[in-house]
Amino acid sequence: MSDDDLEELRRKRMEQLQEQAQQGGQGGQGQANEAAQEAAQQQAEAKRQALLRQHLTDEARKRLNTVRMSKPQFAEQVERQIISLAQSGRIQQQIDDGKMKQLLKQIQPEKKSFDIKRR
């Protein structure tokens, strides 16, 4: 699937959720709020993905997805960092794989080392 196909699917899903929210208002207020929250979350996620797609090369996105498989919280932290840099205008060009490696090393927490001394 291409990015355009994914965007089209997201747009259709958003329309469905909005229709359900409008119809849900007749059936119950709780369902409408829930559908509206879900729609807002999906819209925010779509914006995040679009920003990442715009500022990361394919290799950098693959590396980030690989990190997400092993450390999901760390990947979220890296994504938030990239998005904040992009929104503040501090990213001049796309982040390639080499820059992604540097960014991951900078953000990665210090490893705790334990020295065991035997007497």
User: For 40-68, how does the pLDDT look when each residue is reduced to its tens digit (9 = 90+)?
Assistant: 888 888 888 888 899 999 999 999 999 99
Q: Domain spans of the chain?
A: 1-54, 56-103
Contact 85, 72 (CB under 8 A): no
The pLDDT-based confidence of 27 (bands split at 50, 70, 90) is low
What does the mean pLDDT of the chain come to? 84
Q: Which residue matches tokens 């210090």?
A: 110
Q: What is the pTM of this model?
A: 0.61
**Residue 13: is its pLDDT beyond 70?**
yes
Average pLDDT over every residue of 95-109: 88
**Residue 80: is its pLDDT beyond 80?**
yes
The CA R_g of the chain, rounded to the nearest whole Å, is: 20
Q: How confident is the model at residue 67, as a pLDDT?
A: 93
